[in-house]
Amino acid sequence: MDNSLLIFAESYQVLNYVYVSLATFWVWDCLITLDEEIAFLRNSKAQIIKILYVLTRLSPFVMLGLHVYFDFYEGDTPDYCLLIDTVASVFSLIIIFASDALFLLRVYALWGNNKWILAFLSISFVLAVGGTYAVGFVPSTNMPFLDIKIYPVTGCFYGSQGNYYIVMFVSFILLEIEIMVLTLLRAYLNRRQEALSKDLVKAIPFGSSGPKHNMQDLLITRNLLYVFVSLSLTIANLVTCVVLPDAYSGLLEDPQFVLNVVLATRMHRSLWAASEKRTMADCTYTDFINAEMEALDNIVFITESTSDRPSSSASGQP
């Protein structure tokens, strides 16, 4: 038997286990957080964010379902295999777009609606996601029907796309490093500004500024957690493409997408819940989206000094 075909067959079995495990994990995660999601969707007023959230949360159901069906398909029509995989790829790209858009909006919030930051993030995001869309629809080198006697399985599988995956993962590594740098820089500038405003020679340590910075500290901390996990997975994907045989080039791609969705949606719900439960002592904030984006006002809040706000405005907040 051709050694390359044997490697593809082995990778095919590994992918079967991966997708079945991912589907099981996804159903479990949705069940244990169902009450939180219902509360968020019923009470949040940010319609655009709701749309992004629903797209992010529901797309993995379709993507994973198609992949499980795809891996266990017993027909012998490569064109049908290609159709199934194309539809699954569309939903994978929707996941990438929606989950990353949620995260980038939070970075934009940290910078107080700075238009230059928005433009910078948008260009990087378009380049990274655009490259991913291009890679997602690059025709495979082959898509044979698997029917090997020593492997009692049948199904569709791709040939090599390793070089295309490398381009995609490198673009996302650059985007994630950019986001991490912007978040760390924002945290530093916040602490420096606070220290100067209080005429302190020494900057206040991160996380010790009191209740009025709780929301902002929470946002910065979780942004860093998200991007660190995502960056680690992207690097692992890149190493997989470079070190392992081409048949395994996309082994960790969909697991990363699913974990990104879990992180993005859980983080967004927790920030929304924190903003709902804030006390009057924590109400020294302004909505991070300005007039033309007021529909997004429930994502997160940026704190500011009470001296910068009229007392009537502060007392009018929930």
The pLDDT tens digits of the residues spanning 273-304 come to 777 665 333 433 333 333 333 333 344 433 33
* Domain membership of residue 276 as a residue range: 3-315
pLDDT at 153 over 70: no
Q: How would residue 75 be classed by pLDDT, with cut points 50, 70 and 90?
A: low
With pLDDT > 90 as the criterion, what percentage of the chain qualifies?
A: 1
Q: Which of 118-122, 199-203, 242-246 has the lowest mean pLDDT?
A: 199-203
The pLDDT score that the predictor gives to residue 28 is 92
pLDDT of residue 296: 39
Query: For residues 9 and 207, what is the distance between their CA atoms, to the nearest angstrom?
Result: 51
Structural domain count of the chain = 1
Over 70: is that where the pLDDT of 198 sits?
no
Q: What pLDDT is recorded for position 285?
A: 33
pLDDT (mean) for 198-203: 50
Position 40 scores a pLDDT of 86
pLDDT score recorded for residue 114? 85
pLDDT (average), residues 36-45: 84
Query: Is a pLDDT exceeding 50 seen at residue 167?
Result: yes
pLDDT higher than 60, residue 216: yes
What's the rounded mean pLDDT across residues 101-118?
Answer: 83
Output the pLDDT for position 230.
Answer: 84
pLDDT score of 248 more than 60: yes
302: which strand partners? 286
The stretch 51-71 carries a mean pLDDT of 86
Answer with the residue of higher pLDDT: 196 or 198.
196
pLDDT score for 128: 81
Per-residue confidence band for 163, with pLDDT thresholds at 50, 70 and 90? low
Q: Which residues of 185-210 are buried (b: 16+ CB within 10 A; e: fewer)?
A: ebbeebbeebeeeeeeeeebeeeebe
pTM of the entire predicted model: 0.71
Q: What percent of the chain has pLDDT over 70?
A: 61
Q: Which residue has the higher pLDDT, 292 or 26?
A: 26
CATH number at residue 229: 1.20.1070
pLDDT band of 111, cuts 50, 70, 90: confident
**What's the rounded Cα separation, in Å, for the pair 284 and 219?**
16
pLDDT of res. 294: 38
Which residues, listed in sequence order, are joined to residue 156 by a DSSP beta bridge?
145
pLDDT in tens, 76-105: 566 777 787 778 888 888 888 888 888 888
